[in-house]
Amino acid sequence: MLRYVVRRIGYGLLILLGVNLATFVLFFTVNTPDDMARLNIGGKRVSQEQIEKWKVERGYDKPLYWNDAQDGSARLTETIFWERSVSLFMLDFGRADGESAGDIGHEVATRMVASLKLALPLFLLQVLASTLFALLLVMFRHTRLDFWGTVACVVMLSISALFYIIVGQVLFSKVLRLAPISGWAEGWGALPFLVLPIVLGLLSRLGTEARLYRAMFLEEIGKDYVRTARAKGLSEIAVLLRHVLRNALIPIITSAGGYLPYVFLGSLVFESFFGIPGLGAYVIDAIAGQDFAIVRTMVFLGSLLYVATYIVIDLAYTWADPRVRLA
């Protein structure tokens, strides 16, 4: 297993390298530092002096890949590529491009806490609720409960998350006044502001996940080992929980694990609408302000989290099914 993990980490590093190079070329070759300066400074008339000052303040006045004005290793390190691309592998994100923006690393560490407060309980509740709802439908399959439950899943997955947010804010905040419509507070004070987005986020994903899990359980329930378990006198609940659920864990882990990066990166839509100062809102603000340093950082972090997530998923397969061997 160790050799497999090392090999997967090696593949992951190659993926990160490719994503990083593609991002760098896109931002610094297609879009030059002069273009970035003009976009950030704004205004119709931007002088070359203003552009040069902006570039000096952010280190964009250096050569892209090779600095002939320096000696030794400084020829490589005193370049935009080293400071804005290679440094990401050392988790050194530098400062943002905006005039009032500060250190990106500090912002990421601070905002990740807010994103985790929203996304982590939402992720756990979503997996639990979707699994239990799917098991309930399978237990009462070919009944009205199964039929209308499946219809409800199709309806829920057909509705945009924006609809849940807008209707939920109007109904629960303005009409019933059960939760704040948006806002944020530190510590335990954030709890009232998290209830509504967690509930609405759960509803927006319940239909998709429950219908998928139901299909997985129905596929397992027709296999020979299930009939054998019933023949030995096990109850339907025991068959579902001890046999069907356990053998369907691998596709469930794959489906749920794909959502894990969003747990750390935050939700762009929910954080923006509910005023949560997480990483999702950070990306939206960066795009609106055309802060390319933040966008590059979040692209790199997203790639890093996806690579790490799928390594964890592979390891989780061995826990879910002892027959799986990583080699």
- What CA–CA distance (Å, rounded) separates 305 from 67? 32
- Percent residues over pLDDT 90 in the chain: 21
- Give the tens place of pLDDT for each residue, 77-132: 888 888 888 888 888 888 887 766 678 888 888 888 888 898 889 889 999 999 99
CA angle 94, 95, 97 (to 5 degrees): 130
pLDDT at 246 over 80: yes
Compute the distance between CA of residue 147 and CA of residue 130 in angstroms, rounded to an integer: 16
- Looking at residue 44, what is its pLDDT? 65
For the chain, give the percent of residues with pLDDT over 70: 98
Q: What is the mean pLDDT of residues 188-194?
A: 90
Amino acid at 175: V
Instruction: Please tell me the distance from the alpha carbon of residue 293 to that of residue 227, in angstroms, as a whole number.
Output: 58
CA angle 197, 200, 204 (to 5 degrees): 130
* pLDDT at residue number 193: 92
Cβ neighbours for 234, distance < 8 A, ≥ 6 positions apart: 242, 243
Reported confidence tier of residue 43, pLDDT bands at 50, 70, 90 = low
Neighbours of 293 (CB within 10 A): 22
The CATH homologous superfamily for domain 108-320 is: MetI-like (1.10.3720.10)
Check if the beta carbon of residue 266 is closer than 8 Å to that of residue 280.
yes
Q: How far apart are CA 46 and CA 160, in angstroms?
A: 42
> What gap in Å lies between CA 79 and CA 63, rounded to an integer?
5
Of 142, 108, 286, the C-alpha closest to 222 is 142
Buried b (16+ CB within 10 A) or exposed e, 50-69: ebeebbeebebebebeebee
Nearest one of 260, 16, 306, 257 to 115, comparing CA atoms: 260
- Rounded average pLDDT over 196-222: 91
pLDDT tens digit string along 4-18? 888 888 888 899 999
Distance between CA atoms of residues 135 and 139, nearest Å: 6
Can you give the pLDDT at residue 4? 82
pLDDT score, position 99: 63
Q: Please give the backbone phi and psi of residue 95, each rounded to the nearest 5 degrees, phi first.
A: -105, 160
Cβ burial 233-272 (10 Å sphere, 16+ → b, else e):
eeeeeebbeebbbebbbbbbbebbbebbbbbbbbbbbbbb
**How many degrees, rounded to 5, is the angle at CA 40 between CA 37 and CA 45?**
75
CA angle 250, 214, 151 (to 5 degrees): 150
For the entire predicted model, the pTM comes to 0.82
Residue 120 burial (CB count, 10 A): 14
What is the rounded CA–CA span in Å between residue 185 and residue 62?
41
Amino acid at 135: L
Q: What gap in Å lies between CA 308 and CA 295, rounded to an integer? A: 20
Give the start-to-end residue ranges of the domains of the chain: 2-90, 108-320
Q: What is the mean pLDDT of the chain?
A: 86
